[in-house]
Structure 1
Amino acid sequence: MTAIVIGAGIAGLSSAIRLAAKGVHVTVLEQQDTYGGKMGVWEQDGYRYDTGPSLFTMPQYVNELLTIDGKSDVTFEYDELENIGNYFWEDGTQMTATKDVEQLKDEFLKQLSEPKENIDAYLADSKIKFEITNHVFLEKSLHKLKTYLSWGTVKSFFRLSKVDIFKNMNAQNELRFNNPKTVQFFNRYATYNGSNPYQASATLNVIPHYEFGFGAFFPKKGIRSIADALYQKAIHLGVIFQFSTQVSKVEKIGERYIVNGDTESDILICNMDVASAAKGPLKNFVSSKRKKYEPSSSALIFYWGIDREFKELDLHNIFFSSDYKKEFKNIFHNRKIDNDPTVYIHISSKCKVDDAPVGCENWFVMVNAPYVAGQDWEKMINEARENILIKVSKRLGTDISRHIKLEHKLTPELIQSKTGSYKGALYGSSSNDRMAAFLRQPNFSSGHKGLYFCGGSVHPGGGIPLCLLSGKITTDIIAHDFKLY
């Protein structure tokens, strides 16, 4: 039995590992010269940056893959974070979110005058949402009848009203909290899958449970080491990788798939962005209705080498916009970066000290951006850079521009061209439609036996944990279809 995986993103790596562990001969074709997809790395002048995802939760999903064959032949180490993030508002308010929930409630009460019982009730509700949705909606295909015939699914459907599918995320948060800043704090979780909290379903209020219920972590060798470990495991299992290989043509002859005219397989897994694949090599295999969807938000990222340390900053730092609703309106409706953007600063040298020269810090500075839609990006990027500097400099009390000794950037257009993400969207389709979970590309093709899909544009969605689950769901379906037990 043979399989080809198009794309070596983490979902593709997950699928390749799982199939190889079942004895399938797997070949991965990747257009870039390395593995990991968006989980890249960039280094210069003593500074090292993880260029893509920066938040790591649910490490057990990685550990499961690394021990899938009963061997512990790949080392992967990580630490749990005591402080999940530092949060800053324009009026000088500041708070630290901790993994210790009692400390967290104390901080909300002290800094935002938010009653502890409000936080307790909210986190309890987030946990309930997780318990209802996880095994049914996140770990299984939503497009297979057998998913809905299990007793676990039936029990979940009896509790479906608690998931708040048809309620608005922001509206629900406004009902639960006294302080608008607390609302903004929890609204931000919509950005974890590139969505607008003023449109997205309140089901997304499940996301805080991943951080406060299970914890946030940091790999000792950086986020890129997740991809490194998965790649090493795949190699140990006999997976073959062909890098710098653009897939331009896919044909099907009988029951076999022919890729680029010369590579054959029984199974074909697409880890490309579905919309990009539908317009490219899989144009004859993907339904036209899958070729159009509202993309998620993108990102503008600056990688700054800072020549000093800031003790008020931690690994994860958020500088909030003063008008969150306006910011999201600009991103999703006006297709531009707001002039007062929420700024996220990730500083891996806080945990991995050799990521920056002694006495310096490596700043990964990100703002939410619209997907690519014909904008004047040069103008928008220059304006955003200036607005970021003004905002952060004001809050930290120093001119940050004087401390930037190195700069590199990643734009929505570069995300589109380098990773094949449709219109530069980070998470495939947005979740702004209340039924978005059911509208994502299924993990399999209903019209073409042997064709499957995984990745951030596919069920269950984007982000490290969900991409790894996407690989699992896909290979579970393959195992059933091809009787790989």
Structure 2
Amino acid sequence: MGKSAVIIGSGIAGLATAIRLANKGYQVKVLEANSYPGGKLGKMSCKGYRFDTGPSLFTLPQLVDELFILSGRNPQSHFEYSRLAVNCHYFWEDGTRIKAYSDPGRFAREVHDKLGEPEDNILTALRNSAFIYKRLSPLFMHRSLHQWQTWTNAHALKSYFQIGKLGIFDTMNGANKKRFGHPKLVQLFNRYATYNGSDPYQTPATLNIIPHLEYNMGAYFPKKGMHDITLSLFELAKSLGVSFNFGVKVDRVIVNNRKATGVMAGLNSYEADIIVNNMDMVNAYKTILKDQKQPTTLLKQPKSSSALIFYWGISKKFAELDLHNIFFSNDYEEEFRYIFHEGSVYSDPTIYVNITSVYKEDDAPPGCMNWFTMINVPNNTGQDWDLLIKEARKAIIAKINRILETDIEQFIETEDLLEPRTIESKTSSAMGALYGNSSNSRLAAFLRHANYSFHIKNLYFCGGSVHPGGGIPLCLLSAKIVSEMAG
């Protein structure tokens, strides 16, 4: 009989870890408090409209393909996706509109035509983004930062000599202001800080690694919607013999002689050779690990931003909108000051609208659209969210009306809501923070929990609140790191 593993939580990282361990011969049992798999990567439906409830951007699809290939399956037979020709449509209040074509040359020409920015500035920025990715991804994405081998291999040693080119000593905004002449282009590239819940005016310019994923490697759309990532991996895991127990809330990890030997859930105990926690790290230490040594420094770190999302069924089609759309604030710096310093919501927020029915028509009734309408907001520290949500909704509608010259509220047929309090209650994300600890410092990468416990043998961690970070690609990579450590 092979080794056994219990995984706490069936978020995308938990699913990927289950698949990888099953392929290594482990008998894997997944315990999930909710009645469904996927964590944040879920779905909902109402009155003929279907919504992906969580992450809406899909990059590095090969990380999903890899799980099927590892399992001896043809990925295309189980999970299909297509590359986007336009990554995002950008809108400003003065009438400026930019299509961010996925082809770097075409994107550069578009920006030059609309803003007068030299094309080479954009192409140089994307080459720099590729350089950062090449140097840092093997260190910060594919390996544990908490093992000495990561820092002593040949790639790491070579990277040390180029540290000044990696953006560690500047902020994202600082680097972008030096690179671009037009403030709108600075704002466009600053936006990538939000991909892990950070502030571009504080986070290091190292995060300029992110545009490489969209423009040089591509953004994609799963043909059945983002939730199909969850469903396809869930079915793959079951086909490998992974067992899932839903509606099971783990109460504590059983630790004997500094070794994890199982978990307790109600009156039931589940023993295993290894335990993998896919629960938010902070809440895990507050609950299932409350009797164990606490990583006090990590637990006290500032948390990332959260989100306020309105799921709107819109009884009209807007030809100028695509899958990903951004309506920019007139004062981006002030917006982030409100989020990270005031703990509040700015009166002129940047609005992201994701409309999957553009690519998947049955996500909305004929002649309609499903709007996933989101703004970045602070994590939950006890604000009057009922008031903030009411004011934010008015600001969102007013801004959309100004830019699209419409009266959007008359077209809202159905509405649902996700906000920091419900993000925390539904996904166990501490304070409703989407990405765990914030990345607003040079040391942020080092202030994430390791993928294993320093104090408890056979206890591992995966998911967006631990190394290497939040978002679908990094969650999938956390699973890879854990499976390699577990052996």
TM-score > 0.5 by shorter chain = yes
Q: Does 1:407 align with 2:415?
A: yes
Q: How many Å apart are 1:290 and its aligned residue?
A: 2.8
**Aligned partner of residue 14 in structure 1, secondary structure:** helix
User: TM-score, normalization: structure 2?
Assistant: 0.97
**Aligned partner of residue 417 in structure 2, secondary structure:** strand
Partner residue of 1:438 out of 436, 446, 457: 446
Cα deviations by residue, 1:267-320 (Å, 9 ceiling, x for unpaired): 011101100101110123342333222110000000000001000100000000
Counterpart of 2:238 in structure 1 is 235
- In structure 2, give the amino acid aligned to 1:96: K
Counterpart of 1:173 in structure 2 is 176
Any residues of structure 2 matched to 1:73-84 within 5 Å, and which?
Answer: 75-84=78-87
Q: Does 1:107 align with 2:115?
A: no
Taking the aligned partners of 1:210 and 1:115, their CA distance within structure 2 comes to 22
Q: How many Å apart are 1:248 and its aligned residue?
A: 1.2
Q: Does 1:259 align with 2:267?
A: no
Any residues of structure 2 matched to 1:41-52 within 5 Å, and which?
Answer: 41-52=43-54
Any residues of structure 2 matched to 1:323-362 within 5 Å, and which?
Answer: 323-362=331-370
User: What is the aligned-residue RMSD (CA, Å)?
Assistant: 1.0
Cα deviations by residue, 1:71-118 (Å, 9 ceiling, x for unpaired): 338610001000111000111111100011111011110111111111
Taking the aligned partners of 1:229 and 1:169, their CA distance within structure 2 comes to 36
Q: How many Å apart are 1:252 and its aligned residue?
A: 1.4
Cα deviations by residue, 1:149-189 (Å, 9 ceiling, x for unpaired): 21121112222221111211101100000000000000000
Taking the aligned partners of 1:92 and 1:35, their CA distance within structure 2 comes to 42
Partner residue of 2:470 out of 459, 462, 468: 462
**Aligned partner of residue 97 in structure 1, secondary structure:** strand
Counterpart of 2:215 in structure 1 is 212
Any residues of structure 2 matched to 1:10-409 within 5 Å, and which?
Answer: 10-72=12-74, 75-254=78-257, 255-260=259-264, 262-285=269-292, 286-409=294-417
Counterpart of 1:7 in structure 2 is 9
Taking the aligned partners of 2:184 and 2:404, their CA distance within structure 1 comes to 20
Taking the aligned partners of 2:450 and 2:60, their CA distance within structure 1 comes to 23
- In structure 1, give the amino acid aligned to 2:273: D
- Which stretch shifts more, 30-39 or 155-164? 155-164
Taking the aligned partners of 1:237 and 1:214, their CA distance within structure 2 comes to 30
Taking the aligned partners of 2:393 and 2:247, their CA distance within structure 1 comes to 32
Report if the CA contact (8 A) 1:349-1:361 is conserved. Answer: yes
- Which stretch shifts more, 275-284 or 214-223? 275-284
Report if the CA contact (8 A) 2:253-2:263 is conserved. Answer: yes
**Aligned partner of residue 70 in structure 2, secondary structure:** coil
Q: How many Å apart are 1:256 and its aligned residue?
A: 4.8
Taking the aligned partners of 2:120 and 2:388, their CA distance within structure 1 comes to 43
Once the two structures are aligned, what percentage of the paired residues are identical?
50
Report if the CA contact (8 A) 2:15-2:233 is conserved. Answer: yes
Structure 1 unaligned segments of length 5 or more: list them. 480-485
**Aligned partner of residue 340 in structure 1, secondary structure:** coil
**Aligned partner of residue 342 in structure 2, secondary structure:** coil
**Aligned partner of residue 357 in structure 1, secondary structure:** coil
**Aligned partner of residue 106 in structure 1, secondary structure:** helix
- In structure 2, give the amino acid aligned to 1:274: M
Cα deviations by residue, 1:238-285 (Å, 9 ceiling, x for unpaired): 111111111112221354523115111110111011001011101233
Report if the CA contact (8 A) 1:256-1:264 is conserved. Answer: no
Taking the aligned partners of 1:241 and 1:146, their CA distance within structure 2 comes to 35
Q: How many Å apart are 1:12 and its aligned residue?
A: 0.7
Cα deviations by residue, 1:201-242 (Å, 9 ceiling, x for unpaired): 000000000000100000000000001111111101111111
Report if the CA contact (8 A) 1:247-1:259 is conserved. Answer: yes
Q: How many Å apart are 1:476 and its aligned residue?
A: 1.0
- In structure 2, give the amino acid aligned to 1:324: Y
Counterpart of 1:418 in structure 2 is 426
Q: How many Å apart are 1:446 and its aligned residue?
A: 1.2
Report if the CA contact (8 A) 1:275-1:292 is conserved. Answer: no
Q: Which runs of 4+ in 1 moved over 4 A?
A: none
Alpha-carbon spacing, 1:473–1:467, altered in 2? closer, same or farther (3 Å)? same
Q: Does 1:429 align with 2:437?
A: yes
Q: How many Å apart are 1:44 and its aligned residue?
A: 1.0
Taking the aligned partners of 2:166 and 2:290, their CA distance within structure 1 comes to 36
Structure 2 unaligned segments of length 5 or more: list them. none
Taking the aligned partners of 2:299 and 2:289, their CA distance within structure 1 comes to 11
Report if the CA contact (8 A) 2:262-2:275 is conserved. Answer: no
Counterpart of 1:482 in structure 2 is none
Partner residue of 2:484 out of 453, 476, 481: 476
**Aligned partner of residue 263 in structure 1, secondary structure:** strand
- In structure 2, give the amino acid aligned to 1:124: R
- In structure 2, give the amino acid aligned to 1:320: F
Taking the aligned partners of 1:195 and 1:119, their CA distance within structure 2 comes to 22
Taking the aligned partners of 1:9 and 1:82, their CA distance within structure 2 comes to 29
Taking the aligned partners of 2:111 and 2:71, their CA distance within structure 1 comes to 45
